[in-house]
């Protein structure tokens, strides 16, 4: 018997390299799920990030650490579809696949940082992203919009200021939501490990054990 997941309140997706996953990713996902009232948020490790240098840990290790971090948090799910896909990973392809799974009517929210929103025009076929999903940008207090240009115009054309406006429709809106983002980065964690420093309380204990066991991030 297969139990069908109820996605009716909507699905969020949160992509990243997760090299390694840390409390910044986890806390933001928990808060966004609650704020947006979503059925689940899928954290999707990126295989071949088109925009940046390649991750340090293998895809297998990054996924294993993410799964350990999400073990006790129903509503946050590790989704390995981009690791299974051949070639470059484009968010648009991921959105299309998830849209096919959850149906045309279910709200789908692409959760990104404000820095990513500002550079949205660097994404593959970026204007089509809102055909398939809403975009929710997590902004640090003191955030501001770009001064001008095509991204600003795009934001103005799609922007809503109230989360309720995302719930009545499956896609097409942009919400900028202020969150207190924890000052943690995977780069900082990798550097601390290379210096032999503790990363306790920045990363879940089980992930720390995994890093130790597999001797990751230490030269």
Residue numbers of the site for ligand ATP (CB under 6 A)? 16-19, 24-25, 28, 112-113, 116, 181-182, 184-187
**Taking the complex as a whole, how short is the minimal distance between the CB of residue 113 and ligand ATP, in angstroms?**
3
Q: Centre a 10 Å sphere on the Cβ of residue 165 and count the other Cβ atoms it contains.
A: 14
CA 101-107-108 angle, to 5 degrees, is 65
**Taking the complex as a whole, how short is the minimal distance between the CB of residue 65 and ligand ATP, in angstroms?**
11
Would you say 5 or 62 has its CB closer to ligand ATP? 62
In the DSSP assignment, the letter for residue 203 is B
Would you say 30 or 103 has its CB closer to ligand ATP? 30
**Taking the complex as a whole, how short is the minimal distance between the CB of residue 62 and ligand ATP, in angstroms?**
9
**Taking the complex as a whole, how short is the minimal distance between the CB of residue 11 and ligand ATP, in angstroms?**
17
Would you say 28 or 89 has its CB closer to ligand ATP? 28
The beta strands (E) that lie in the chain are given as 11-16, 40-45, 76-78, 108-113, 134-139, 159-160, 174-178
Q: How far is the C-alpha of 80 from the C-alpha of 59, rounded, in Å?
A: 9
**Helices 205-213/59-70 angle, 10° precision:** 150
Would you say 132 or 179 has its CB closer to ligand ATP? 179
């Amino acid at each position: 018997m297969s139990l069908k997941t109820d996605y009716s309140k909507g699905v969020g997706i949160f992509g990243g390299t997760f090299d390694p996953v840390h409390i910044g990713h986890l806390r933001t996902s928990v808060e966004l799920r609650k704020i947006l009232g979503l059925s689940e948020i899928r954290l999707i490790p990126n295989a071949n990030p088109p925009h940046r240098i390649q991750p340090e840990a293998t895809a297998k290790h990054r996924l294993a650490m993410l799964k350990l971090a999400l073990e006790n948090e129903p509503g946050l799910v590790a989704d390995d579809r981009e690791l299974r896909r051949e070639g470059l990973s484009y968010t648009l392809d991921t959105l299309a696949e998830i849209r096919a799974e959850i149906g045309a009517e279910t709200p789908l929210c692409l959760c990104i940082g404000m820095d990513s929103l500002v550079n949205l025009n660097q994404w593959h076929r970026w204007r089509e992203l809102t055909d398939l999903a809403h975009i929710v940008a997590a902004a640090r207090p003191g955030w501001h919009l770009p001064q001008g240009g095509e991204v600003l115009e795009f934001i103005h054309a799609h922007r809503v200021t109230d989360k309720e406006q995302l719930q009545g429709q499956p896609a097409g809106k942009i919400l900028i939501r202020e969150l207190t983002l924890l000052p943690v980065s995977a780069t900082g964690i990798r550097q601390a490990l290379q210096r032999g420093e503790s990363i306790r309380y920045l990363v879940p204990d089980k992930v720390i054990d995994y890093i130790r066991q597999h001797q990751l991030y230490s030269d």
